[in-house]
Amino acid sequence: MNNSTLAAKYERLYSAAGRMMWLQRGDSWRKEGKWPDHRRRAWLDLESVLADDPTYPPQAGGLSDPARHVISRRHPTEDRPLTFSEAAADWEARFKADPGTEFIDVDGFSRLAPFASVILPGSLYKDMGWIQYELDARVAPGRPACVIGDDAADLSLVLHEVADALRSPETGGEPTPHPGTAPWIARESVKVSDRPDLAEHYEHLRRAARRAAELIPSHAELRAARDFSVSRDILPTAATLVRLADDDNREVAWEKAPGADPGRHLVWGDSPELTELKDEAATWREHLRSDGLPRTPVAPEPQPQWDGANPLLVMSKTRSLLYAEVLDELAARLYPGRSSGMIHYDGYWLTRALQSGVGYELRGLYWF
């Protein structure tokens, strides 16, 4: 088997295995007693093989690889890329330290403190909540390489505009450079198959993937046992993974909508309908025209009264800054011409934070 054929086999297997792990959602399977121990150990073994990366740790002064690192910012204390798992841990730590919305007393009345929170319209908050799922899907482990097209330009721009508004407690609303233009972003990713021990590692991955996938019960078995610990979403990918481990060369299906192009369309969700990135941008623009950008109180003011028709929500400074980073990361990834290789398994930890960690909490103010 020549190197290019082996690399293609490895990448198909890696993609399917990463997708299966991602689709399981949550970490309950890691806990003893949730799954049979042999299945839990098989999944942990597969995770260990997927996580192995000859490019780790990131080098000082090195470029940020969209397949392995967040690209909208660097490590907070060192001149090096920030890995997905490091970014997730940073978000979680900052969220846990959030003191909440700050109020002050003014003549016996409680008022929002100046430059300590953000007030935003409910329509925009809903858009922000849904768009987190898009970032989740785009940094999912095993997601294939793609290049972003020109149709993403306005969505990338509007996401950054909202991010700048969310940063207003710190910046006063002054615009910042678009994260997609950052000089530290690599033009090309290091392929997951670009490793000196490819042949040996392929065999490790093939064995671990087959074992982990074949231990997943069928839909009928799960239903008969009333077992809800296994996500039904993983069943087709697990079946594909077994066939790939047995040397099948079929491609791994990632997009639900026929004809979906990650360079032009949204990739999250179960709908068979295609949503173009430019159409999503138009929705955001419409809401901004009707309801406005987030703003920070510059003087003490009352908390907005609830209006079910046109709700205004208050977000703490910490939450608003975290949300700005989420939006800027997606803005950088949707910058026209952005090229990303297949997402490394480390992306799993960022998706975990977006699904059930800080992302869940950020969506928790209203209707999510």
Integer-rounded Cα radius of gyration of the chain: 22
Q: What values do phi and psi take at 111, rounded to 5?
A: -130, 150
Tokens at 93, concatenated: 């730590």
Mean pLDDT computed over 154-158: 98
Q: 365 pLDDT band (50/70/90 cuts)?
A: low
Mean pLDDT computed over 222-234: 95
Q: Counting beta carbons within 10 angstroms of the beta carbon of residue 250, is it exposed (0 to 12), middle (13 to 18) or buried (19 or more)?
A: exposed
Tokens at 346, concatenated: 């480390």
Lookup result for tokens 């809903």: 126
Tokens at 356, concatenated: 């059930």
Mean pLDDT computed over 53-74: 96
Q: What values do phi and psi take at 110, rounded to 5?
A: -80, 125
Beta carbons of 273 and 257 less than 8 angstroms apart: yes
pLDDT tens by residue, 76-100: 999 999 999 999 999 999 999 999 9
pLDDT tens by residue, 275-289: 999 999 999 999 999
Q: Give pLDDT, residue 269.
A: 80
Tokens at 121, concatenated: 């319209």
The average confidence (pLDDT) of the chain is: 94
Mean pLDDT computed over 114-128: 93
| Cα-based distances in Å from 66 to 70, 125, 180, 329, 338 | 6, 26, 11, 10, 9
Mean pLDDT computed over 157-161: 98
Q: Please give the Cα distance from 170 to 120 (Å, whole number).
A: 16
Beta carbons of 72 and 331 less than 8 angstroms apart: yes
